[in-house]
């Protein structure tokens, strides 16, 4: 059965590949709404209580996007010959078109986040991995985590 999804909470493409389609979906897109990680640390002052406050700065931020990937259809909705073959095909597509290093310029891919209300935000991201776990015994679906790194800290 193809993945059911709606884009009421937004949408995402990475390098032109839709992250919501009949074969897979992101389950925690709201993670991309959160603030950037911060770098910097307060300085300890010798012989006094407390620390000297030091300004913080936004820094590159990693996000783990949970995914559901099914095996009965591909990204276009076309049926697969078998569930496990479909899972393999869908993972291979993501591996080759989203996760593999770009080998160009700074190595980023363009992420386009559509937020509730319909406006879009574009930001370069590095896709740093795809981990798969919890393969359903009959091969109908698999849980996965797509890891991205946002150099600017957040999709702004």
| Angle at alpha carbon of residue 85, lines to 102 and 4, rounded to 5° | 80
Specify the fold of 11-35+54-150: Elongation Factor Tu (Ef-tu); domain 3 (2.40.30)
* H-type alpha helices, 57-129: 83-94
Q: What is the pLDDT along the chain (156 residues), one digit of tens a residue?
A: 677 777 788 999 999 999 999 999 999 999 999 999 999 999 998 999 999 999 999 999 999 999 999 999 999 999 999 999 999 999 999 999 999 999 888 999 999 999 998 999 999 999 999 999 988 888 799 999 999 999 999 987
pTM: 0.90
Task: At 20, list the tokens.
Answer: 């919501």
Torsion of CA 12, 14, 20, 22, to 10 degrees: 160
pLDDT of residue 1: 64
Count CB neighbours of 103 within 10 A: 6
Instruction: Map out the domains of the chain as residue ranges.
Output: 11-35+54-150
Q: What are phi and psi of 11, to 5 degrees?
A: -150, 165
pLDDT of residue 139: 78
Q: Which H/E stretch holds residue 17?
A: strand 17-18
Q: Match 């776990």 to its residue by tokens.
A: 133
């Amino acid at each position: 059965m193809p993945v059911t999804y709606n884009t009421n909470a937004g949408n995402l493409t990475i390098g032109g590949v839709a992250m919501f389609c009949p074969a897979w979906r992101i389950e925690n897109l709201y993670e991309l709404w959160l603030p950037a990680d911060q770098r910097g640390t307060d300085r300890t002052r010798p012989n006094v209580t407390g620390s000297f406050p030091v300004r913080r700065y936004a820094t590159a931020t990693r996000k783990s996007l949970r995914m559901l990937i099914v095996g009965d259809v591909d990204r276009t909705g076309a049926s697969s010959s078998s569930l496990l073959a479909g899972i393999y095909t869908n993972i291979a597509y993501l591996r080759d078109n989203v996760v593999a290093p770009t080998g160009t310029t700074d190595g980023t891919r363009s992420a386009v986040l559509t937020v509730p209300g319909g406006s879009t935000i574009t930001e370069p991201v590095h896709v740093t991995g795809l981990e798969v776990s919890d393969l359903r015994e009959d091969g109908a679906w698999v849980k996965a985590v797509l890891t991205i790194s946002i150099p600017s800290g957040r999709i702004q």
